[in-house]
Amino acid sequence: VYLDRAGNEGSWFIIEPAYKHYVIGDSVAAGNKISLIPYSVNNQPSAGHVKHQLHLSHCLLKDHQTAAEVNCLNESTEWQVYMFLLFNENQPDIVKSVSDHGIFSEKRRRTYNFERRPLAKPKRRGRCEV
């Protein structure tokens, strides 16, 4: 994970699970809580202390009053994963996780938008294929 594609090693972070029932190496899904550990401090022994993590401060920036300070602290900070697309990936023919396309009717086996026109006729699939 990186903050700036053209940034230096200080812009790179390693994702670690925030809860003990996940282990390093598990897949990350939307809605999971994670910690962002700077790549430069990940290999240093923590000696029982919390590793440095990306932290969002409550201090507002003086030159940009709607933005908050982001820094690294040895304080446990949880981030929640959300799905999104970069601006250059925003194409109208791609369905996005936040797209509002209509309501699926189980009785009529079709999807309706708000104008009550059918959008698609879904195929019946087993649960493991969905």
In terms of domains, do 69 and 111 share one?
A: no
The answer as to whether 42 is a domain residue is yes
The answer as to whether 108 is a domain residue is yes
Is residue 20's pLDDT more than 80? no
The boundaries of the domain holding residue 116 are 100-130
How many other β-carbons are positioned within 10 Å of the β-carbon of residue 106? 6
In terms of domains, do 68 and 125 share one?
A: no
In terms of domains, do 63 and 16 share one?
A: yes
Number of structural domains found in the chain: 2
In terms of domains, do 15 and 75 share one?
A: yes
In terms of domains, do 117 and 66 share one?
A: no
Ranking 5-14, 33-42, 83-92 by mean pLDDT, the lowest is: 83-92
Smallest CA-to-CA distance from 68 within 77, 59, 81 is with 59
Whole-model pTM over 0.75: no
In terms of domains, do 104 and 69 share one?
A: no
Is residue 62's pLDDT more than 70? yes
The answer as to whether 58 is a domain residue is yes
Is residue 69's pLDDT more than 70? yes
CB proximity list for 120: less than 8 A, separation 6 or greater: 110, 111
pLDDT at 115: 45
Is residue 118's pLDDT more than 50? no
In terms of domains, do 106 and 72 share one?
A: no
